[in-house]
Amino acid sequence: MPSFGLIGIQWGDEGKGKIVDLLSEKADVIVRFQGGANAGHTIVVNGRRIVLHLIPSGILHEGKYCVIGNGVVLDPEVFEHEITQLKSEGYLKDDSKLLVSATAHIIMPYHKKLDMLRESKGKGKIGTTGRGIGPAYEDKMGRIGIRVVDLLNRKVFEEKVRQNLEIKNFIIRGYYGEEGFKAEDIIEYYDRFRNVLEKYVSDTVEFLQKCVAQGKCILFEGAQGTHLDIDHGTYPFVTSSNTVAGNIMSGTGIPPFAVQGIIGVCKAYTTRVGEGPFPTELKDEIGEIIRERGKEYGATTGRPRRCGWFDAVSAKRAIAINGIKQICLTKLDVLDEFEKIKICTGYRVGDKEYSSPPLDTELYWKCVPVYEEVKGWKTKTTGITDFRKLPGAAKDYIKRLETILGVRVSIISTGPDRAETIVRDSFFKK
């Protein structure tokens, strides 16, 4: 049975949660390989809305294994909260189905504080989620991070907290003029997370290797999106991990041949939260309509998302980087009311045209979209589950995207509920 990666090809919030939830039905194992609680995956099951930030959305399917891989930065507070929430909703009846990598790094209170301070007091605001992601990955790369396995060993944990606080408090107090942290407070507070986490911690590399050897179907759930990737995104307005398919291997410890395909996810339009270039952004009434119809407010921070037309220039780049042949197009119904719909097929700065995103962020800011206009369908598509029942203009829009992007649109989402989906191709054929 093949294994797949599911990757966002825009600036995050593509609706991956719903697609992961949908595909999880056929998968045996669902794995997060990067990011942390900065992600916000919203899933609606039988009218009930569930938002998960850390635990893979596949957890909503009984009997599936869910793995938080070594590439994730784990916030124990969020982890505890999600476990409690899931259990109270009747999910996660069997704790052995959730595995946390012993070598995932832990988000500490000083990571969150530093993230917030940089955003509020520093120069060059990124518009982060404030979840401590950047500072945690910095410590990982700086080789001073604290891993899950370190938390399990109180002595090691204590030493590492004290060592870290010497520098962190120096910055928090000396540079930002704010109150620092007491080592004892953190050490004591994190005692409870040792208890919460302990039963889920394992060697997830070994577990996944076995799954690969047994031919199990694994779904690798990407968080954020390709254009928020630390290497391939609109740097510095990016997240601090590699969000692209290439990171599935390092973030989980499985070999490249274990993944048979990468499925891309994008909305029928484009959104972005936080700062950074966004050529197709609509700061007018149309953008407002998209935001309201699409309920485009961040699942993690509640911030209104910036909205705009579909950007095929950046999508094509993401498709190439991830090796995508099939995509899931979400939120098609949000465009139901428009007379005309635009697709950005190029960027222009002065009289120079670009067919792929400029690498110089300063230039990216200046890009003006070159649009192709197509007819809107002005018909309700919400809840349609059969491609043939879509209005002609909606089918034409999808076909046009397929032609421009050179991919097949395999799944179309026509509403938030699991059932409101058109499935044209099945990914998990034996």
304 touches ligand IMP (CB under 6 A): no
Among 112, 131, 168, 306, interactor with ligand IMP by CB under 6 A: 131
Q: Residues binding ligand IMP: what is the number (CB under 6 A)?
A: 20
What is the nearest approach in angstroms of ligand IMP to the Cβ of residue 183? 25
Q: Work out how close the CB of 72 gets to ligand IMP at its nearest, in angstroms, rounded to a whole number.
A: 12
Taking the complex as a whole, the smallest distance from the CB of residue 247 to ligand IMP amounts, in Å, to: 14
Residues 134-163 that bind ligand IMP (CB under 6 A): 134
**Does 41 qualify as catalytic in the annotation?**
yes
- Angle (deg, nearest 10), helices 154-169 and 109-121: 20
Q: In 294-328, where does DSSP find H-type helix?
A: 312-322
Q: How far apart are CA 210 and CA 212, in angstroms?
A: 5
Q: How far is the CB of 267 from ligand IMP (least distance, A)?
A: 12
Nearest to 10 by CA among 277, 378, 386: 277
Q: Does 129 bind ligand IMP (CB under 6 A)?
A: yes
CA-to-CA distance for 169 and 174, rounded, in angstroms? Answer: 8
The closest alpha carbon to 213, from 253, 258, 251, belongs to 258
Residues numbered 40 to 79 that lie near ligand IMP (CB under 6 A) are: 40
**Structure token pair of residue 371:** 């649009």
Q: Is 133 in the site for ligand IMP (CB under 6 A)?
A: yes
Q: Determine contact, residues 369/309, Cβ cutoff 8 Å.
A: yes
For ligand IMP, which is the closer residue by CB, 70 or 128? Answer: 128
Name the residue among 238, 272, 42, 259 with its Cα closest to residue 126: 238
Q: Which is nearer to ligand IMP, 61 or 131 (CB)?
A: 131
Farthest-apart Cα atoms in the chain, separation: 66
Which one from 13, 28, 333, 417 is the annotated catalytic residue? 13
List of residues 6+ apart from 103 with CB closer than 8 A: 70, 147, 148, 149
- Near ligand IMP by CB under 6 A, which window of 38-46, 98-106, 250-258, 279-287? 38-46
Alpha helices, DSSP H, located in 294-378: 312-322, 361-366
Stretch that binds ligand IMP, among 77-85, 237-245, 356-364, 388-396 (CB under 6 A): 237-245
What is d(CA 251, CA 137) in angstroms, rounded to the nearest whole number?
A: 13
CB of 231 to ligand IMP, least distance (A): 14
Please tell me the distance from the alpha carbon of residue 16 to that of residue 169, in angstroms, as a whole number.
38
Cα within 13 Å of Cα(384), Cβ side:
22
Q: Which position among 21, 28, 41, 227 bears the catalytic label? A: 41
Q: Which two tokens stand for residue 112?
A: 């969150």
Which tokens in the block code for residue 415? 């509403």
Options 13, 77, 311, 333; binder of ligand IMP; rule CB under 6 A: 13
Q: Is 15 in the site for ligand IMP (CB under 6 A)?
A: no
- Out of 100, 126, 319, 335, the only residue in the binding site for ligand IMP (CB under 6 A) is 126
Q: Which is nearer to ligand IMP, 97 or 113 (CB)?
A: 113
x/- binding map, residues 84-123, to ligand IMP, per CB under 6 A?
----------------------------------------
Give the chain's count of helices (H) and strands (E).
13, 20
**Is residue 228 involved in binding ligand IMP (CB under 6 A)?**
yes
> Under DSSP, is residue 175 helix (H, G, I), strand (E, B) or coil?
helix
CA 83 to CA 53: how far, in whole Å? 11
Cα Rg, the chain, nearest whole Å: 22
Q: Are 302 and 331 in contact (CB under 8 A)?
A: no
Question: 101 or 300, CB closer to ligand IMP?
Answer: 300
Q: Which 273-292 positions form the footprint of ligand IMP (CB under 6 A)? A: 273-274
Which residue in the set 24, 70, 240, 421 belongs to the binding site for ligand IMP (CB under 6 A)?
Answer: 240
Closest CB 40 distance from ligand IMP, rounded Å: 6
Stretch of residues binding ligand IMP (CB under 6 A), selected from 65-73, 126-134, 192-200, 214-222: 126-134
Active site residues: 13, 41
By CB under 6 A, name the binding residues for ligand IMP.
Answer: 12-13, 38-40, 126-129, 131, 133-134, 223-224, 228, 237, 239-240, 273-274
